[in-house]
Amino acid sequence: MATTEITKDTLEQTISGDGIVLLDFWAAWCGPCRMFGPIFEESSAQHDDITFGKIDTEAEQELAGALQITSIPTLMAFRDGVLVFRQAGALPAPQLEQLIGAVRDLDMDDVRKQLAEQQAAPDQA
């Protein structure tokens, strides 16, 4: 599956469904983004069960700001509508494959339970 351009109008629909979604926040002027782009594209061709989305931070400044993207490239992984990974910096292909495996292996019932516990706990300063 090829990558999909994601905009503020398509983000919620893209990340809220079942399955895995990987988002690459990038810009044309960004050297590391240009290095990571082909790795991300190649991975998308190998994993047709995963949605690979690209968000151009120049064209989608409002969206990048809302998601607090302060460094690019930034990679986010969602599974079943839950943000499970977020990291700035380009990943080499083997690490991207490791990430995909780790996201596939998550016990989402356990993830949801942990999130509920975190939200129920009072803020500790």
CATH of the domain at 109: 3.40.30.10
**Encoded amino acid at 96, one letter:** L
Q: The tokens 């044309």 sit on which residue? A: 28
Expressed as residue numbers, the domain containing 82 is 4-120
Report the relative pairing of strands 51-56 and 4-5 from DSSP bridges.
parallel
Q: Is residue 109 part of a domain?
A: yes
Q: Is residue 75 part of a domain?
A: yes
pLDDT tens across 54-100, in order?
A: 999 999 999 999 999 999 999 999 999 999 999 999 999 999 999 99
Q: Is residue 48 part of a domain?
A: yes
**pLDDT class of 53 with cuts at 50, 70, 90:** very high
Q: Is residue 41 part of a domain?
A: yes
Residues annotated as part of the active site: 30, 33
Alpha carbon distance 7, 55 (integer Å)? 7
Q: Is residue 112 part of a domain?
A: yes
Query: What pLDDT does residue 29 have?
Result: 96
Q: Is residue 25 part of a domain?
A: yes
Tokens of 69: 């993207």
Query: What pLDDT does residue 1 have?
Result: 58
pLDDT tens across 100-116, in order?
A: 999 999 999 999 999 88
Residue ranges in 47-92 assigned as alpha helix (H): 61-66
**pLDDT class of 2 with cuts at 50, 70, 90:** confident
Looking at the structure of the chain, the number of domains it has is: 1
Q: Is residue 125 part of a domain?
A: no
